[in-house]
Chains A and B, each alone.
Chain A
Amino acid sequence: MSFPDPIAVFRTEAAELLEQIETGLLDLNHDLADKEQVDAVFRGLHTLKGSGAMFGFEALAAFTHHCETAFDQVRKGIVPATHDLVTAVLGATDHMRALIETPNGDHEAASEVLLAGLRAAVAAAADPSQTPAAAAPAKPQDVGYRIRFSLPANAMANGTNPLGLLDELAELGTCRIRADKSDIPSLDLIVASDLHVRWDVELLTDQPRSAIEDVFIFVMDEMQLDIAALSPNPAAAPAAVPAVAAPVSSATPAPVVAAPTPAPALASAPAPAPATAPVPAETRQNETKQAKSAENVRVPAERLDELMDRVGELVIAQSRLSQLANSSADLQLRAVSEDVERLSGELRDTMMVLRMVPVAHLFSRFRRLVHDLAIETGKKIELITEGETTEVDKSVVERLADPLVHLVRNSCDHGLETPEERIAAGKPAAGRIYLTARQQAGEVIITIRDDGRGINRERVRAKAEASGLIASNATLSDQELLQLIFQPGFSTAQQVTNLSGRGVGMDVVKRTIDALRGTINVASQNGEGSNISLAIPLTLAIIDGLLVRVGNGRYVIPLSAVEECLELSLDEDMRSRGRSFISLRDSLVPFIRLRDLFRTGTKPDPFQKVVVISTGAERVGLVVDQIIGDHQTVIKGMSKLHHDVATFSGATILGDGGVALILDVGHLVAAGQQQEAQLRAAG
């Protein structure tokens, strides 16, 4: 076991925190009164400050502190949240990233500028009635409180450090702390990691009650907290007792003065862990509890890939075992084999789920992008996302990020009009971009739709002709014309802007999607916007397949492409000598005899089957000798030596150790059409 670099761990964590903060800020920007988001942002900033300081990112902690202070005021209702404030803090989050990346860099000046902006925003927000220095509205009187609290027994095991809480209380004012040790069991019953001490604090402070509650904000959910205001008179009492030397009065409670010493030490001495991991552990725990995220384990992706390989091998070994078992009469062997089959099936399913991540993570970054683009272009843009829970294989999600950025930028920059143009066209001033994901059969469809001006077909054509992509009078279908925008070097923007228009990008989109074995579909209505949808296979590792036999060879057809299977009746077979069509529920479906295509040289089985597959718009029947059944297909790549064979997208290993080739449905249909054309040409 190697220890991960703590700094690296902090960086990943900080990146996540910043993302959360950003999301919170953007949500807040939509609804400034959203108290929950204010709290979320505050908690995020607080955690970031705490763990930053802990890992030695002093500049980050100091800088974040100011943002936190600003949000604290918002949270307490001293200043209202404003768009300016949100923008200021958004800008600040970028600076925090820089501070995390290069903690020793020279960020002083930038920090100052941002903080000045922040202060101005706070002042402006507070302006109407309050003074700019909103931090201290009116000096309140010192008030005495009696605070009794007890933490859950497992608090320290979870990383909460009671001493930290006591310290924070002590910072609020003069306080007197007593530990109530009445719950400490006899020595033989003590669980070293449990917390057995309760505290009783008398505090004299000028801070409001909420400040005391804030001390416990991260543990509030599980603890018992009782805050009672002391009557003004005895309020003087705790103040009179100096915080340093408070003698004991009652028999049981030992004196624990503000200085963090004995009582918790008693509990924590055998288990020093809480003492060494104080603030961040505590806040991290809070994060899991209060933010929506569940408990997570970080695993490098390559380990998942390794595991995936092993599971693939196990699936293959298991099908060998079940074949052996089924051919033997040993009932016990069969029972074991069935168990193994069930287990490996479950393992495979779990494994697949492990690799699936919701696209929400991918989508969230676009909110910031659109926010920034709106400011940059001076357009009003709303981003509406749908289907964030749709799950895709991790490797697919990662590779989708860049193409989507290009597409969203394009929509913002080229697609949407300026508010004036939109109003003139009778549309609402704010342009809308819809980013949606949904699952359809074995594919994920991701759609980017805008309600902008749409793609100008004349301009596309003119541009394509000018750059020699098409002949000047070429006849193109609408889809072909629209697909031209994915050609390298193609751009219809009249001027190159900061954002797009250089003609790089769209061809990168196309190439990436091709590499993922996906397809792009473009639709556009002049004046009403455009719609680009990407269809991507769910996974690149294991697919459900239909195992068939053609001649002596076995082949896998991806089940997601299979529509139905039927028998090729002798009648149809004979009749179809001249034409390769069968009629299927009143529509004609062309078919390909795989035996002919593969030149098996064997006799056809007497009862041949037709597997009807669909490739987008087209339906095609594949004539096979036998349908063996469905098959969990672990995709193995073919070597470079077979890259010229387009009919197959890969291979898989069967239960008996044999190899079956996986049909590439798209290419197969193309090959079939070619063959058909040759047949026609031959007469």
Chain B
Amino acid sequence: MSQAQRNLAEDLWNGREEVEVLTFDIAGEMFALEAVKVQEILDLLPETTVPGAKPFVGSVINFRGKVIPLADIRLAFGMEATKPTIDSRIIVIELDIDDEPTLTGIRTDKVNEVTTLMKAAGEPPPSVGMRWRPDFIDCLVRRGGEFIIIPNLHTIFSAQQERMPNQPLQA
């Protein structure tokens, strides 16, 4: 497991010493995604619930004439749902799902900034002391006494495809 994690972490850095990321908040935790993967940041849009779909991707939105799924990754991390606020945004990213590039929206509570993370400050997720599935996390990066979580979207999305997470997932 730890070997796999290291590989994934190296995937993010890809041999680089620093990476530009977009940081955002979900349920009080700060997350970050590599900035070049982000297509667009949207204000909240009217959502259409898809009856019968998994709660993780329970709805779709109209993104520039395309119908794209809206994912709620807090469900993958077993976090409490938060009420939409004036700061709530949707981040649109492109993901490879079954080798098919798929645009997907991710619900966030607040989008912070684009910043540079140093590889030196990164750490693989600890194997104990964490309530989240370790393979959902690429790595943790220290910054000013806080940790920024780099989620491994690939694992998260393929896990959601495999089964119905009716209950929040817990390690």
Q: Chain A residues in contact with chain B, CB under 8 A? A: 312-313, 316, 552-554, 597-600, 636-642, 644-645, 647-648, 651-653, 656-661
Residues of A within 8 A of B8 (CB): none
Residues of A within 8 A of B49 (CB): 552-553
State which of B50, B54, B61, B157 has its C-beta within 8 Å of the C-beta of A648.
B50
- Measured CA separation A329–B160 after assembly (Å): 49
13 further A-B contacts with Cβ under 8 Å, apart from A636-B66, A642-B53, A661-B50, are A316-B65, A553-B48, A598-B52, A639-B69, A640-B97, A640-B98, A640-B161, A641-B57, A645-B53, A647-B51, A656-B46, A658-B46, A659-B62
Q: Does the CB pair B98–A642 fall under 8 Å?
A: no
State which of B45, B67, B104 has its C-beta within 8 Å of the C-beta of A638.
B67
- Measured CA separation A642–B54 after assembly (Å): 8
Known: A657-B62, A658-B46, A659-B61. A639 touches B52 (CB 8 A): no
Q: Chain B residues in contact with chain A, CB under 8 A? A: 45-46, 48-54, 57, 60-62, 65-69, 71, 97-98, 100, 102-104, 157, 160-161
- Measured CA separation A312–B62 after assembly (Å): 14
Residues of B within 8 A of A653 (CB): 62, 65, 67
Residues of A within 8 A of B48 (CB): 553-554, 651, 658-661
Whole-angstrom distance between the Cβ of A161 and the nearest chain B Cβ: 51
30 A/B residue pairs, CB under 8 Å, sorted by A? A312-B65, A553-B48, A553-B51, A597-B51, A598-B52, A599-B51, A600-B51, A636-B67, A640-B97, A640-B102, A641-B104, A641-B157, A641-B160, A641-B161, A642-B50, A642-B53, A644-B53, A644-B161, A645-B52, A647-B51, A652-B67, A653-B65, A656-B46, A658-B46, A658-B62, A659-B46, A659-B48, A659-B62, A660-B48, A661-B50
Chain B residue nearest to A550 in the complex (CB) = B51
- Measured CA separation A645–B67 after assembly (Å): 15
Q: Does the CB pair B69–A642 fall under 8 Å?
A: yes
Residues of A within 8 A of B160 (CB): 641
Known: A647-B51, A658-B46. A638 touches B60 (CB 8 A): yes
- Measured CA separation A647–B54 after assembly (Å): 13
- Measured CA separation A638–B103 after assembly (Å): 11
Interface centre among A312, A316, A553, A642 (most CB of B within 10 A): A642
Residues of A within 8 A of B45 (CB): 657
Residues of A within 8 A of B52 (CB): 598, 645, 647
- Measured CA separation A647–B69 after assembly (Å): 16
Q: Does the CB pair A642–B60 fall under 8 Å?
A: yes
- Measured CA separation A656–B46 after assembly (Å): 10
Q: Does the CB pair A642–B102 fall under 8 Å?
A: no
Chain B residue nearest to A648 in the complex (CB) = B50
Q: Does the CB pair B68–A639 fall under 8 Å?
A: yes
Q: Does the CB pair B60–A659 fall under 8 Å?
A: yes
Whole-angstrom distance between the Cβ of B168 and the nearest chain A Cβ: 19
Whole-angstrom distance between the Cβ of A46 and the nearest chain B Cβ: 51
Whole-angstrom distance between the Cβ of A312 and the nearest chain B Cβ: 8
Residues of A within 8 A of B46 (CB): 656-659
Residues of B within 8 A of A637 (CB): 67
Residues of B within 8 A of A600 (CB): 51
Whole-angstrom distance between the Cβ of A671 and the nearest chain B Cβ: 8
Q: Does the CB pair A641–B62 fall under 8 Å?
A: no
Known: A313-B65, A636-B66, A657-B62. A642 touches B51 (CB 8 A): no
Q: Does the CB pair A641–B102 fall under 8 Å?
A: yes
Question: 9 closest Cβ contacts across the A-B interface?
Answer: A598-B51, A659-B48, A651-B67, A636-B67, A641-B69, A641-B57, A640-B97, A645-B52, A645-B53
Whole-angstrom distance between the Cβ of A179 and the nearest chain B Cβ: 63
Interface centre among B51, B54, B100 (most CB of A within 10 A): B51
- Measured CA separation A661–B160 after assembly (Å): 21
- Measured CA separation A653–B62 after assembly (Å): 7
Whole-angstrom distance between the Cβ of B32 and the nearest chain A Cβ: 23
- Measured CA separation A178–B103 after assembly (Å): 73
Whole-angstrom distance between the Cβ of B90 and the nearest chain A Cβ: 14
Residues of A within 8 A of B98 (CB): 640
Q: Does the CB pair B51–A639 fall under 8 Å?
A: no
- Measured CA separation A398–B45 after assembly (Å): 39
Q: Does the CB pair A640–B60 fall under 8 Å?
A: no
- Measured CA separation A354–B54 after assembly (Å): 40
Chain A residue nearest to B102 in the complex (CB) = A639
- Measured CA separation A638–B157 after assembly (Å): 16
Residues of A within 8 A of B102 (CB): 639-641
- Measured CA separation A656–B157 after assembly (Å): 30
Q: Does the CB pair B62–A639 fall under 8 Å?
A: no
- Measured CA separation A413–B29 after assembly (Å): 69
- Measured CA separation A661–B97 after assembly (Å): 22
- Measured CA separation A658–B48 after assembly (Å): 7
- Measured CA separation A553–B49 after assembly (Å): 7
- Measured CA separation A637–B68 after assembly (Å): 9
Whole-angstrom distance between the Cβ of B101 and the nearest chain A Cβ: 10
Residues of B within 8 A of A554 (CB): 48
Residues of B within 8 A of A651 (CB): 48, 60, 67
Residues of A within 8 A of B161 (CB): 640-641, 644
- Measured CA separation A432–B153 after assembly (Å): 60
- Measured CA separation A640–B67 after assembly (Å): 12
- Measured CA separation A294–B53 after assembly (Å): 51
Chain B residue nearest to A640 in the complex (CB) = B97
Whole-angstrom distance between the Cβ of B43 and the nearest chain A Cβ: 13
- Measured CA separation A644–B58 after assembly (Å): 12
